[in-house]
Amino acid sequence: MRQDGGPIAVRGCGTGGPVVALLHGGPGAPGELAPLARALAGEFRVLEPLQRRSGPVPLTVARHVADLAEVLPEGAALAGWSWGAMLALSFAAAHPERVRSLALVGCGTYDEAARGAYRAALASRLGEEGRRRAEGLRRAMAGATSDAERDRLFGELGLVLDRAQVVEALSEEEGAPVWVDARGHDETWADVLRLQAEGVEPAAFAAITCPVLMLHGADDPHPGRATFELLRRFVPQLQYRGLSRCGHRPWGERHGREPFVAALREWLAGSAGEGLPGLPRNDDNCDHG
């Protein structure tokens, strides 16, 4: 199934309170933040925009930003994870007047030095067996003859890499993508790298005016401190909070979950403001199924 036109789908969770939009990681694998949406639903009205799938026109960061602009209410707080944190920054730079606050969870990288550090840390975490498995899946993806087969292999690769990036997973809180879209991942990430190579991002983030917080696991192979120092050149109001004994998926990790959810709730309650009038309510709790 392709999502070529019209607004993207948005899942809802919670019955009231300040509005928070959770931006999924990937790109190309939305849905994994469902456990976090449920954890926040008691105090917030949580929206989960499901990022657009690949179609006739290649996906770009601008396309994803435009999709969010079409479905998000003004004044929402945004909490993005991994690539979703990068998308949150791109959206807030393009529409600074529409964002109340940002929370960046396990934010991705903005220069080749940080990406090199990430790749080295991930390779070490994978070990020899994991590296062989990941490389085998990449070779199989390169030789796949259909989008469906590439998507299946991309999903398997994601599981291998994800397991290497957490400290101790809570299996019941893992969450799962709604779909996996390998082509959409490749198109979007190519545009992310283009924007960085051309010097557009992160320089564009100087337009962001709202409060911004990074929440980053101390054991996340993504180099959080290096990314923080780079981003702070353009976003001077950026704050940082590290999470001990925690990797890339803090809401789904045994040691990271409680301090992470507490810190995120505190940030969102302090910065998200009052609930927004006119936003449809979902009194059936979460519509994740």
CATH code (residue 191): 3.40.50.1820
Q: What's the pLDDT at 288?
A: 56
For the stretch 199-250, pLDDT in tens is: 999 999 999 999 999 999 999 999 999 999 999 999 999 999 999 999 999 9
| 181 located within any domain | yes
| 165 located within any domain | yes
Q: What's the pLDDT at 174?
A: 56
Task: Please check the confidence at residue 171 and state whether its pLDDT lies above 90.
Answer: no
| 143 located within any domain | no
d(CA 159, CA 137): 11
Task: Please check the confidence at residue 137 and state whether its pLDDT lies above 80.
Answer: yes
User: Which residues span the domain enclosing 38?
Assistant: 10-116+156-271
| 134 located within any domain | no
DSSP the chain: ----SSPPPEEEE-SSSSEEEEE--TTT-TTTTHHHHHHHTTTSEEEEE-PPPP-SS---HHHHHHHHHHHSPTTEEEEEETHHHHHHHHHHHH-GGGEEEEEEES---SSHHHHHHHHHHHHHHHHHHHHHHHHHHHHHHHH-SSHHHHHHHHHHHHHHHHHTT-SSB-GGG----S---HHHHHHHHHHHHHHHHTT-TTGGGGG--S-EEEEEETT-SS-HHHHHHHHHTT-TTEEEEEETT--S-GGGBTTTHHHHHHHHHHHHHHHS-SPPTTPPP-TTS----
Q: What's the pLDDT at 15?
A: 77
| 128 located within any domain | no
Q: What is the pTM of this model?
A: 0.92
| 4 located within any domain | no
| 289 located within any domain | no
Q: What's the pLDDT at 177?
A: 82
Task: Please check the confidence at residue 277 and state whether its pLDDT lies above 50.
Answer: no
Q: How many domains does the chain have?
A: 1
Q: Distance of CA 201 to CAs 89, 118, 196, Å?
A: 9, 19, 5
Name the average pLDDT for the chain: 91
| 25 located within any domain | yes
Written as one letter, the residue type at 282 is: N
Task: Please check the confidence at residue 167 and state whether its pLDDT lies above 60.
Answer: yes
Q: What's the pLDDT at 23?
A: 98
